[in-house]
Structure 1
Amino acid sequence: MPPRPLIIDCDPGVDDAIALLLAFASPDEFDLLGITTVAGNVPLALTTANARRIGHLAQRTDVPVYAGCPRPLVRSLTTAEDIHGATGLQGADLPEPTLPLPAQHAVAYLIERLTTTKTPITLATLGPLTNLAVALIQCPDIAQGIDEVVMMGGALGGGNITPAAEFNLYVDPHAAKVVIDAGLPLTMVGLDVTHQVVTTADRLAALEQLRTPVGQAAAGMLRYYGQIDIERHNLVAPPLHDPCVIAYLLCPELFSGRPMHLAVETEGTLCLGRTVANPCPTAAAPANAIVLETAHAVGIYSLLTERLGKL
């Protein structure tokens, strides 16, 4: 089969960076058309520079990076430097990107690409959903060019930024509602899955033993990343969120899930950004997403290490 046309919308961020590397390392499976960036883990200027740094690291400067929305639709921006470090890529010393940044805004790029494509495009969303929501508001017809959206965000249980909400959807819950309510083929990769995929000492050592610039950078970032989450969420090691989206697109057999009715809270205060997934859809609230529930962590890390070894 020909490679799947793919656009990655992200806010790098350490785990976004690892996800980008996994996608870059899979040219037989992905025709990576472009990367769009949004404010999230760190402000937009840093997420955009970080995406470009990772492209240079992977020697994939053929994939353009488009800067997108610098803030959520309604709320002020919440960032996560405590998790990712002040630059967003704590643990990796990567040079500044040298190629010029395209002038086109990420939203304009999404609209142009999705309305002119002859083959529907998969969207991997790894950060707040602001860019995609604005594109849908400006041009609902982009839905016809979308094959599916695979979203890292949400949770069936508790959150990781508040007791109720996962970070990406908490940052811009109103954008998440636009996307979830748009009727797109949607798969949710939430915390219930990503907290099963943790970077143990053995898995980190396997990346270090690649003894390549990519392996050393990935290991350096993961050595720092997510330490706070161990105590917050009683995990044995730091979780690896965003690469699960790319791993799912590569090897869906490593995951299991089922159709559910998905909604996001936008009106409350204590539960703002919480996802509510009903595993027993009704005629009034039919299934509108595949919600993943389990992940095979050993297989995911084996895939990640094998692929990064090719860069």
Structure 2
Amino acid sequence: MNKRIIIDCDPGIDDAMAIIMAASHVSDLRIEAITTVSGNVGVDKNTKNALRICDLIGLHDVPVAMGANRPLVRQQLVASDVHGKSGLDGTALPEEPVKKLADEHAVDVLVEKLMASEGDITLVAIGPLTNIALAIRKEPRIILKIREIALMGGGTYGNRTPAAEFNIYADAEAARMVFESGVAIAMFGLDVTHQALATLDKPDELKGIGNPVATAVSDMIAFYSGAYQGKFAGAALHDPCPVAYLIDPSMFELEHIRVDVETKGEFTYGMTVVDFKGVTDRNPNVQFARKLDQDKFWKLFMETIKSY
């Protein structure tokens, strides 16, 4: 039986790879919609990139809806230093998508899809959490309709500041609302996504597959690796991790713990405060991914690309 998902994203190179994995012939996930948010680049560019990826993989029947163009209360933050000015720099994808944008706003799509469901839709949240926070604020009844939120964000250290990871830092107020909503959350932060490293041999290995999707992913990883030079022995594939978890949970070790989001600290804004020792006595609210079986991950990743 296919697992129903909505992907809320800000494509973004690793978001693109997450969509490609989820839609592959190896995956048992059924994408109900793709919603976009301001993040890696502006929401207009992120939306265009989502449409371009759908064109690449033939994802014709899935609506793509554009969402929030800025965080709830703060100024917009982007990561064009990592993903390039377009958000998908380094690829040879056609500049203009063929696929058309849905008429509805992303928040309305989230609310409508969830309220019409039987509580069997998982949200794959791989960008800032603005859309999801706005949807909860608009229609609080969706909280009981979300099966789970599998999100990429946070960790015990940061990549935007020493304390904060980009997706959470970009809209910490939205993240705090989501983390305190009572929805079941599986969290894939930097602690585990930095274990999903695409080493420097991966672009050539992907190119050897020979299909257009593999070529595009090879180009993405080659460009993306430039942002990691001198820091890691490869490029971290952050956003594919929640998708990999939904396809094969056995590759991750998770721990049920308390995670809170800092919104007021001068140096710690956007920090996910992870209570491993239970010192706060606050109820656990997150399944926190701590370890990845890298062999399983790469076997699945390569199989999904080959399936095109």
Q: Same fold (TM over 0.5)?
A: yes
Structure 1 residue 48: deviation in Å? Answer: 0.2
Q: Which residue of 2 aligns with 1:111?
A: 111
Q: Which residue of 1 aligns with 2:138?
A: 138
Structure 1 residue 125: deviation in Å? Answer: 0.3
Q: Does 1:276 align with 2:291?
A: no
| Contact in 2 for aligned 1:122/1:148 (Cα 8 Å) | yes
Q: Which residue of 2 aligns with 1:286?
A: 283
What aligned pairs does 1:51-200 form with structure 2 within 5 A after superposition? Answer: 51-95=50-94, 96-156=96-156, 158-200=157-199
- TM-score between the two structures when normalised by the length of structure 1: 0.96
Amino acid at match of 1:297: Q
Consecutive unaligned residues in structure 1, runs of 5 or more: none
SS in 1 for 2:201: helix
In 2: Cα distance, 1:284 partner to 1:239 partner: 33
Q: Does 1:256 align with 2:285?
A: no
Structure 1 residue 236: deviation in Å? Answer: 1.3
In 2: Cα distance, 1:5 partner to 1:12 partner: 20
SS in 1 for 2:236: coil
Structure 1 residue 282: deviation in Å? Answer: 6.3
In 1: Cα distance, 2:177 partner to 2:229 partner: 32
Structure 1 residue 283: deviation in Å? Answer: 7.8
Deviations 1:130-158, CA, capped at 9 Å, x for gaps = 000000011110012110001100012x2
Q: Which residue of 1 aligns with 2:233?
A: 236
In 1: Cα distance, 2:200 partner to 2:279 partner: 44
Superposition RMSD in Å: 1.3
Give the alignment partner of residue 246 of structure 1, picking from 243, 251, 264: 243
Consecutive unaligned residues in structure 2, runs of 5 or more: none
Structure 1 residue 90: deviation in Å? Answer: 1.2
- TM-score between the two structures when normalised by the length of structure 2: 0.97
Deviations 1:88-111, CA, capped at 9 Å, x for gaps = 111112122123311100001111
Amino acid at match of 2:194: H
How has the CA–CA distance of structure 1 residues 69 and 155 changed in structure 2, closer, same or farther, with 3 Å as cutoff? same
Structure 1 residue 207: deviation in Å? Answer: 1.2
Amino acid at match of 1:35: I
| Contact in 2 for aligned 1:6/1:31 (Cα 8 Å) | yes
Deviations 1:39-84, CA, capped at 9 Å, x for gaps = 1000011100000100110011111100000000010111011100
Structure 1 residue 28: deviation in Å? Answer: 5.3
Q: Which residue of 2 aligns with 1:37?
A: 36
Q: Which residue of 1 aligns with 2:226?
A: 227
* Count of residues paired in the alignment: 307
In 2: Cα distance, 1:91 partner to 1:240 partner: 16
Identity over aligned pairs, percent: 39
